[in-house]
Amino acid sequence: MTTLPMRTTASLFILFAAFLTALGCSSEDCLSSDASIEEYLADSIQATELFQDNTPTGLYYIIEEAGDGVQPTLSNSVTVHYTGMTTNGDIFDQTGSSPRTFVLDNLIRGWELGIPLIGQGGRIRLFVPSSLAYGASQAGDICPNSDLIFDIELVSVQ
């Protein structure tokens, strides 16, 4: 039986690990947005329902319920129910029956801008361009440069 020198074995292992990593990070394995936010909105939403963030960020939103007067600031924790999806309609995350609590300034910029627009008990739909989400980075099942849509209910502000 022939054994390979330790250096050759280590090199083969590194090459094999790199090959497996490349296979595991394929863009075919992630959820992408084929349509940009603007294309999605042009095809799907009544213009009378839609608002755009008053800064040139590209964030669009629909306030479905304003909620009460308790609106969060970036330093607050927020408890929310939400569903996150791509513009293709693929759901990548949702709370289900148990809400989740986050510190608002630890979240994606689209949420930091959008959630303070409603009060406690309110509901909003955010149309978040990739620049206000995860940008060029892959995040979990979300492909790089994906525009995202979030349905959010602001359960409470702490």
Q: DSSP letter string over 66-90? A: ---S----TTSEEEEEEEEEETT--
**pLDDT tens, residue by residue, 38-56:** 888 887 766 556 787 666 7
Please report where in the chains the tokens 């492909």 appear, as a residue.
Answer: 143
Q: Helix, strand, or coil here: 27? A: helix
> 67-118: per-residue pLDDT in tens?
998 999 999 999 999 999 999 999 999 999 999 999 999 999 999 999 999 9
Select the CATH number that applies to the domain covering 30-157 from these four: 3.40.718.10, 3.10.50.40, 3.40.30.10, 3.20.20.220: 3.10.50.40
Output the pTM of the full model.
Answer: 0.78
